[in-house]
């Protein structure tokens, strides 16, 4: 038989998303926090929702991080199915991260998760040096190209599986299944993006032409609190990281002070074409207008000059400061500008 349905879920609400003190990682691995009590409740709600729908997954593949196994466990218990580890759907870490956590293996994790079985050998592993956006997309493409034929050969009787993973990987897996080339693209003409709230659920089905289509995007309707902690690649920080939580707290504080408009600070470097390296191309008083920043090729108008931009990954990082110079942020993206009508 052919694998026909893939569900992809993000893990539940993490304990380190709450104010300190935070519990120590059960595995003893830095960067492997357990779920908060709220996250455990979300996992139960997700499990009961999956129990109520068809088709139901016959097997669960989990990232080897503790929070994902905590999310997968109530599903496995309700469906009476096994969980296996797959490092190919593990967490995304940027290359500039000081330490890239190495997750525990099946022998260690099975002490806490009785539904975890050692019946599957991971088909792919993330880079131990971290990944940029292009690399996590490539990782997921390579993983799927290995996983699907290997799975179908080993389990020809199973048509539906569930991946329990992380926000960035959830998005990259979905974009890979849909045939897109990068993680920042929208999936339709209405600028729809893949949603990745905590314990959200996607569903992909194989159509008659052998192409994957999305029929459920970031579903959170079964969660008591609805969608929480959505993340996508327009966020300047790793999903759920301390920097991400700090930025969210800052936005929430501003909203509490009366600013109800939702926004996000994103820092990028703009490379403007110049024929003279001894003079400034853009004067400090120039007016900058931007259109389509969420697309692959945003448009920029600087005074009366129009440029088309291309997203690039920086080699290394740069630092941006807020206007008051009190905070600094790492910049890992660059937009190369090209004259639309060069003279």
3-state secondary structure the chain: CCCCEEEEEECCCEHHHCCCCCCCCCCCCCCCCCECHHHHHHHHHHHHHHHHCCCCCCEEEECCCHHHHHHHHHHHHHHCCCEEECHHHCCCCCCCCCCCCCCCCHHHHCCCCCCECCCCCCCCCCCCCCCCHHHHHHHHHHHHHHHHHHHHHHCCCCCEEEEEECHHHHHHHHHHHCCCCCCCCCCCCCCCCCCCCCCCEEEEEECCCCCEEEEEEEECCCCCCCCCCCCCCCCCCCCCCHHHHHHHHHHHHHHHCCCCCCCCCCCCEEECCCCCCCCCCCCCCCCEEEECCCCCCCEEEECCEEEEEEEEEEEEEEEEECCCCCCEEEEEEEEEEEECCCC
Nearest to 108 by CA among 46, 197, 29: 29
Give the neighbor-by-neighbor strand order of the sheet with 288-291: 269-271, 328-339, 305-321, 299-302, 288-291
Q: What is the pLDDT of residues 224-250, one digit of tens each?
A: 999 999 999 998 788 888 888 888 888
d(CA 108, CA 112): 8
Whether the per-residue pLDDT at 323 is higher than 70: the answer is no
Q: What is the pLDDT of residue 21?
A: 93
| Token reading at 131 | 């990944």
| Mean pLDDT score, 151-160 | 98
| Token reading at 189 | 């003409």
Nearest to 166 by CA among 243, 67, 56, 30: 67
Q: What is the pLDDT of residue 342?
A: 59
Percent of the chain with pLDDT over 70: 85
Higher pLDDT, 324 or 170: 170
Q: What is the pLDDT of residue 253?
A: 72
Nearest to 294 by CA among 217, 183, 202, 219: 183
Q: What is the pLDDT of residue 318?
A: 64
| Mean pLDDT score, 250-274 | 68
Domain boundaries, the chain: 5-234, 267-339
Whether the per-residue pLDDT at 259 is higher than 80: the answer is no
Q: Domain 267-339: give its CATH code.
A: 2.60.40.4370
Higher pLDDT, 339 or 177: 177
| Mean pLDDT score, 163-180 | 99
Whether the per-residue pLDDT at 82 is higher than 70: the answer is yes
Q: What is the pLDDT of residue 255?
A: 66
d(CA 57, CA 160): 5
Q: What is the pLDDT of residue 250?
A: 80
Q: What is the pLDDT of residue 265?
A: 60
Whether the per-residue pLDDT at 296 is higher than 80: the answer is no
Q: Report the range of poorest mean pLDDT among 22-31, 54-63, 185-194, 256-265.
A: 256-265
d(CA 122, CA 107): 14
Residues in CB range of 234: below 8 A, 6 or more apart? 184, 264, 266, 294
**CATH architecture, domain defined by 5-234:** 3-Layer(aba) Sandwich (3.40)
Q: What is the pLDDT of residues 180-230, one digit of tens each?
A: 999 999 999 999 999 999 999 999 999 999 999 999 999 999 999 999 999
Q: What is the pLDDT of residue 297?
A: 82
| Mean pLDDT score, 15-42 | 96
Q: What is the pLDDT of residue 127?
A: 97
Q: Report the range of poorest mean pLDDT among 36-40, 172-176, 300-304.
A: 300-304
d(CA 203, CA 7): 4
Whether the per-residue pLDDT at 256 is higher than 80: the answer is no
Q: Report the range of poorest mean pLDDT among 127-131, 174-178, 294-298, 326-330.
A: 326-330
Question: In angstroms, how far is CA 107 from the centroid of its own chain?
Answer: 27
d(CA 204, CA 217): 9
| Mean pLDDT score, 17-37 | 95
Which of the four pLDDT bands, split at 50, 70 and 90, describes residue 330?
low
Rounded mean pLDDT of the chain?
89
Residues in CB range of 213: below 8 A, 6 or more apart? 178, 204, 205, 207
d(CA 115, CA 130): 30
**What's the alpha-carbon Rg for the chain, to the nearest Å?**
22
Q: Report the range of poorest mean pLDDT among 11-15, 198-202, 331-335.
A: 331-335
């Amino acid at each position: 038989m052919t694998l026909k349905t893939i569900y992809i879920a993000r893990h539940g609400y993490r304990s380190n998303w709450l104010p300190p003190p935070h519990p120590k990682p059960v595995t003893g691995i830095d960067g492997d926090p357990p779920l908060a009590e709220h996250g455990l409740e979300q996992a139960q709600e997700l499990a009961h929702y999956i129990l109520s729908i068809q088709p139901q997954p016959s097997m669960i593949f989990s990232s080897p991080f503790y929070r994902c196994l905590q999310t997968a466990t109530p599903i496995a218990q309700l469906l009476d199915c096994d969980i296996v580890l797959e490092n190919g759907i593990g967490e995304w870490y940027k290359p500039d991260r000081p330490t890239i956590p190495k997750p525990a293996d099946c022998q260690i994790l099975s002490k806490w998760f009785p539904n975890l079985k050692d019946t599957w050998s991971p088909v792919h592993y993330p880079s131990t040096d971290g990944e940029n956006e292009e690399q996590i997309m490539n990782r997921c493409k390579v993983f799927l190209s290995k996983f699907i034929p290997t799975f179908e050969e080993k389990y020809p009787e199973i048509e539906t599986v569930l991946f329990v993973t992380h926000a960035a990987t959830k998005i990259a897996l979905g974009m890979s299944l849909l045939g897109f080339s990068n993680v920042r693209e929208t999936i339709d003409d209405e600028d729809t993006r893949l949603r990745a709230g905590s314990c959200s659920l996607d569903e992909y089905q194989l159509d008659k032409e052998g192409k994957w289509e999305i029929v459920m995007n970031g579903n959170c309707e079964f969660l008591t609190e609805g969608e929480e902690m959505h993340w996508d690649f327009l966020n300047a920080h790793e999903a759920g990281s301390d920097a991400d939580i700090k930025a969210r707290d800052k936005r929430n504080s501003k909203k509490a002070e009366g600013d109800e408009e939702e926004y996000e600070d994103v820092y990028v470097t703009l490379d403007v074409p110049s024929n003279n390296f001894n003079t400034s191309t853009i004067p400090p008083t120039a007016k900058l207008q931007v259109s389509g920043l969420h697309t692959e090729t945003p448009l920029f108008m600087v005074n009366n000059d129009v440029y088309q931009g291309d997203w690039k990954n920086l080699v290394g990082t740069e630092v941006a400061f807020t206007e008051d110079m009190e905070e600094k942020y790492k910049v890992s993206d660059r937009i190369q500008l090209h004259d639309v009508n060069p003279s």
